[in-house]
Amino acid sequence: MALKKESSNENKTYIDYIAEQWPTDNTPYFEDKDEGVKSTNVKGVLKEIYGAKTIGKHTVRSMTFVIVDWDGDELHINGSLVQGTKDVFNGLLNNVGNTVAVGIYLNGNKYPTGSVRNEKGDFVDNTFFAFNEIDIDGMWAEIEANHGFFLKEWEDARIFVDAKNAPKNAPKDAEKPSKEEDISVENIPF
């Protein structure tokens, strides 16, 4: 099943990576909500990776990876950085520019997981962490330092923070907030 839509904006399709926390009976999947299409795999050239941090009652960190499929469509795949997505992101971080096949599934222990393979069909060798030593905070630190990220507060528009591989619609003149600036509790809706 192909995840794309013929009338997408400038050949860009935005897809959610849905993976529930362990244990679960629900298989993870990629979903194009506009088209109502779901799939458990995507293939193409990994173009870029960036992250977004949503500040609110609970801070949510998510990562987006962009794959250009065989039709030339850009698939922007976004998922929260949680245990159920960490294996895929670990396999992608060191493979920007390479052809990859991403498959996601529910293993025998009802754990949502996934794998990244190269164009030969072999598992990628150059993962960011060793498979049994994955550190979610370490992955996020890599995104902030080398791939770029955004800061988003509730329903406000995206605020560009810092990105070496920022999406093309990121404001060029935005500055990273100083570390001294605090978020006021009064501004957080309860």
| pLDDT tens by residue, the chain, 190 residues | 344 333 334 566 777 777 777 777 888 888 888 888 888 899 999 999 999 888 777 788 889 999 998 888 888 998 888 888 889 999 999 999 999 999 998 888 888 888 999 989 999 989 999 988 999 999 999 998 888 888 776 544 444 444 444 444 444 444 444 444 444 444 444 3
Is residue 19 a contact partner of residue 115, using CB atoms and an 8 Å limit? Answer: no
Please tell me the predicted confidence (pLDDT) of residue 153.
67
pLDDT for residue 152: 74
Centre a 10 Å sphere on the Cβ of residue 62 and count the other Cβ atoms it contains.
22
167 Cβ contact list (under 8 Å, min separation 6): 50, 76
Q: Where are the domains of the chain?
A: 12-162
Q: Which residues pair with 162 in a beta bridge?
A: 149
- Decide: 129 and 147 in contact? Cβ < 8 Å: no
pLDDT of residue 55: 78
Place of tokens 């009802």: 110
CB 80 within 8 A of CB 60: yes
Look up the pTM and report it: 0.73
Separation CA 48–CA 45 (nearest Å): 9
